[in-house]
Amino acid sequence: MIPNFIVKQRFIELLSTYPWLKKLPLWLLVFSPAIWMGEYIRESAVNVPCLDDWENVPMLKKWYDGTLGWSDLWSLQIQHRPVIPRLMVIALTWLGQGDMRWQHGMSFALNLGAAVLLAILLQRTLKCSLWLLPIVFLSNCLLFSPILYQNFFWATLFWMAIPGLCMVAALLVLESSGSIWTRFLWTVLLALAATFSFSHGLVLWPVIGVFLLINHTLASMRQRIILFSMWALIAVLTLSAYFHDFRNQSFHAYELQVGEYALGHTVNLANWENFSRVVRFTWGLIGNGFARSAFESEILVYRSQLVGGFVFFGFCVCAGLCLFTEAGRRVWSRALPWFTLGSYGLGMALAVAIGRAHLGEHRCTVPRYFVGTLYLSLSLLVIAFLLLREFFPYSPNRIQGAQRARYIGVAAVTALIVMQWPLAQYGMHLARVWNNARHQAAGVLTFINFPHLRPWSINTLDNTPDYCRTQANTLHELNLLRTHLAESTNIHQFKKAERELQHNRADVDEMFWRENELVLKGHARFGNHRPADVIMVTVERYDEIVGLGAPRPRPQFRLFNVDYEFTNFLPVSLDEACLWEAHIPLSNLPENVRFLEVWALDSDHHLAARFDHKIELPRRPATFN
């Protein structure tokens, strides 16, 4: 056994050899939001396709068949040319053998990469300031906020994180040492990767172009003009190729049809009403990540636009102070990368507003876009800190003013960090709702090949069950679909739960005949938080499933509350959230049926739990006899 003093001595030697180990626990605390989110994704992500995920199936089929061509990678999906993400989807599908959770993990990895690069950029800007760690912690709170639940739990949305990562990486490359031409080449490659990942990657071309032209620390004026000219030429060629034959090829593309010009429905900015709507929409996108409240969803649009407008005007004020005051000009070179990063966030919001404002102003509160606009808010905080420190420097003669300025800064950062707690709580609620809906999607998908069972609530998968049926069977043939597809309607294909569901957890609350079908309504849940994914109805002494009960659907679109988009839930109590409804055609029922048996399906474990009592059918109307 090694004596304690030797262990202590070796530990001291290790710290002297690697001094960064002293700060490791502190940095782990700073990155704790990322660590927590990584574990939450690992535990909660559901392995089932959703909406745009189905669009990748034809490409994967061609890849497996060896017929994949450049046109398949280059084709337009809504207004995006996602060449890079499509290649990544192929790679992740191969690595994970079709497990969609590899793409969820990629979303986490991309945000983690952005968080690390932001920390490096902040360290270069703030040096050894005591504000460094709190601001890095805040950036992690934003990048890994549960408000971004769609980005982490909707596989396709890892595409949206790529441009932001490329933007931060480009700034670090340009701010590093080495040959300017090597740095320029790497920046071009990063801009191309962002452009051909998601459409708002196009924003990198103007914002980095301006950065190349006005950053006097980068190179001489002559070199900067040459760099800018080359950058502009590459940008023109890239945009020309991007917008050539700009016709949508995506099935799930809002109001666009396959083959339709992808910008045909965007707003005309020459009209003042449209222009003002785009401005409000832009502000809403900027502020929507800070405006969530579980109690006042009806004013979410107004609150998002108010917060976003405040951030926008604060950014403009900081720009004015840097340009028109002597103290501001002294921090210009350090603030310029953050103005560029903030401009990317603003440009991303403006690009989305131009492309989506015509769908309705409430769409500005869709939470997934916050993954790009948060860079504007974070940039504003860093620039404000630099200006605050410059306008109120510490000196013996101005100690009172400097202290007050620091108190203001500490209060602002603390308030923003504390504000993340209720936002995170609400985001966790939304993430739980989303993942419950994904479990239900897996349950509905299980019976996708038996349309006569009528899983009539299909909005957890896509707009049309026929489309999902085709893509699901293609994935199944390729052995890439991890959701079990039922081969028959026999109830015995599922594992049986050891315990039946008691009536307080599952029951039929209402049953009646309507025209040529039997309607059942009830509630069912597993445990304290998990609603049943699908309800299966059988007839006593028969093994065949005669009908399915799906979660009771929400209204198609609740204005001012898009937090519940693509789910089957409203913000209601647990009992109400576990409601289901089944419509069983008369033709599915054998003659002289008296009793039904009802089962709840846990799609995760392919497990069927029977309700603890049989259900007696009501007397059929005379017209059915």
Q: What's residue 571's pLDDT? A: 53
Q: Using DSSP, state whether 480 is helix, strand or coil.
A: coil
CA distance 561 to 371: 19
Amino acid 197 reads S
The answer to whether 165 and 159 have CB atoms below 8 angstroms apart is: no
Domains of the chain: 31-48+100-245+272-432 (no CATH), 486-624 (2.60.40.10)
Residue 225, token pair as written in the block = 């003009």
- In 3-state terms, the chain is what percent helix, strand and coil (to 5)? 60, 10, 30
Q: What's residue 57's pLDDT? A: 92
Q: Is the pTM of this model over 0.85?
A: yes
Q: Is 77 left (phi over 0), alpha (psi -120 to 50) or beta?
A: beta
Q: Using DSSP, state whether 263 is helix, strand or coil.
A: coil
The answer to whether 149 and 136 have CB atoms below 8 angstroms apart is: no
* pLDDT confidence band for 565 (50 / 70 / 90): low
DSSP string, 518-563: EEEEEEEEETTTEE-SEEEEEETT--BEEEEEEEPPPPS--TT-GG
Query: Does residue 193 carry a pLDDT above 60?
Result: yes
The number of beta carbons lying within 10 Å of the beta carbon of residue 197 is 26
CA distance 223 to 235: 18
| Residue-wise pLDDT tens digits, 149-165 | 999 999 999 999 999 99
Q: What's residue 422's pLDDT? A: 81
Q: Average of pLDDT values for 119-126? A: 92
The answer to whether 372 and 348 have CB atoms below 8 angstroms apart is: yes
Per the prediction, the chain carries an average pLDDT of 84
∠ CA(519), CA(521), CA(524), 5° rounding? 140
Q: Half-sphere exposure of 456 toward its Cβ, with a 13 Å CA cutoff? A: 13
Rounded to an integer, what is the distance from CA 86 to the centroid of its chain?
Answer: 17
| Residue-wise pLDDT tens digits, 466-504 | 888 889 999 999 999 988 888 898 998 999 988 888 888
Buried b (16+ CB within 10 A) or exposed e, 263-301: eeebbeeeeeebeebbbbbbbbbbbbbbbbeeeebeebb
Q: Cα torsion for 441, 445, 448, 450, to the nearest 10°? A: -100
Query: Does residue 4 carry a pLDDT above 70?
Result: no
Q: Is 328 exposed, middle or buried (0-12, 13-18, 19+ CB in 10 A)?
A: buried
Lowest mean pLDDT among 314-323, 374-383, 443-452, 553-562: 553-562
CA distance 328 to 388: 10
Q: Is 470 exposed, middle or buried (0-12, 13-18, 19+ CB in 10 A)?
A: middle
Residue with the larger pLDDT of the pair 466 and 197: 197
Q: What's residue 560's pLDDT? A: 41
Residue with the larger pLDDT of the pair 43 and 457: 43
* pLDDT confidence band for 112 (50 / 70 / 90): very high
Q: Average of pLDDT values for 66-80? A: 90
* pLDDT confidence band for 556 (50 / 70 / 90): very low
Q: Average of pLDDT values for 338-358? A: 92
Query: What's the sign of the alpha-carbon dihedral 131, 133, 138, 143?
Result: positive
The answer to whether 520 and 510 have CB atoms below 8 angstroms apart is: yes
Q: What's residue 621's pLDDT? A: 67
CA distance 431 to 149: 5
Q: Half-sphere exposure of 275 toward its Cβ, with a 13 Å CA cutoff? A: 4
* pLDDT confidence band for 531 (50 / 70 / 90): confident
* pLDDT confidence band for 566 (50 / 70 / 90): very low
| Residue-wise pLDDT tens digits, 199-236 | 999 999 999 999 999 998 888 899 999 999 999 999 99
| Residue-wise pLDDT tens digits, 328-338 | 899 999 999 99
DSSP string, 568-606: S--S--HHHHTEEEEEEEGGGSPTT--EEEEEEEETTTT
Q: What's residue 405's pLDDT? A: 62
Q: What's residue 237's pLDDT? A: 96
CA neighbor of 99 nearest in space, from 150, 32, 186, 41:
41
CA distance 403 to 409: 10
Q: Using DSSP, state whether 609 is helix, strand or coil.
A: strand
Residue with the larger pLDDT of the pair 572 and 598: 598
CA distance 227 to 157: 33
CA neighbor of 567 nearest in space, from 584, 550, 547:
550
CA distance 180 to 182: 5
Residue with the larger pLDDT of the pair 541 and 380: 380
Residue with the larger pLDDT of the pair 590 and 189: 189
∠ CA(367), CA(373), CA(376), 5° rounding? 145
Residue with the larger pLDDT of the pair 413 and 517: 517
Query: To the nearest whole percent, how much of the chain has pLDDT over 70?
Result: 86
